[in-house]
Amino acid sequence: EPEVTQTPSHQVTQMGQEVILRCVPISNHLYFYWYRQILGQKVEFLVSFYNNEISEKSEIFDDQFSVERPDGSNFTLKIRSTKLEDSAMYFCASSVSGTSGSPQYFGPGTRLTVL
């Protein structure tokens, strides 16, 4: 069964450093997403991406965040200057289509720890 994969599984960084989280969506999916989950809190939407453009982004997704599809398989989330409050689990997801009924499938996540 096709799966979304994410690397690394755990990233530890110092405050102010840049981090890049990587995802490989399911191969025939065209819509990609990033979500985050702070420990003990609910899953929160960050950004959706289609056809090399951001479709929608949340208030959390400020100028410190960016996304990119550098090649035909990877989808990345970059945080330019990490803050302590960026510590969270970051999930990548993908879906076949962008209609609201199209289920999204999640990767195993990257646990980001900012010290």
Partner 1 sequence: RKEVEQDPGPFNVPEGATVAFNCTYSNSASQSFFWYRQDCRKEPKLLMSVYSSGNEDGRFTAQLNRASQYISLLIRDSKLSDSATYLCVVTSIKAAGNKLTFGGGTRVLVKP
- Give the residues lining the site for partner 1 (CB under 8 A): 31, 33, 35, 41-45, 48, 50, 55-56, 58, 89, 91, 93, 95, 98-109
Measured from the CB of residue 41, what is the shortest distance to partner 1 in angstroms? 8
Measured from the CB of residue 4, what is the shortest distance to partner 1 in angstroms? 8
From CA 107, how far away is CA 94, in angstroms rounded? 9
Closest to partner 1 by CB, 93 or 114: 93
Closest to partner 1 by CB, 58 or 66: 58
From CA 7, how far away is CA 99, in angstroms rounded? 27
Closest to partner 1 by CB, 81 or 97: 97
From CA 108, how far away is CA 38, in angstroms rounded? 15
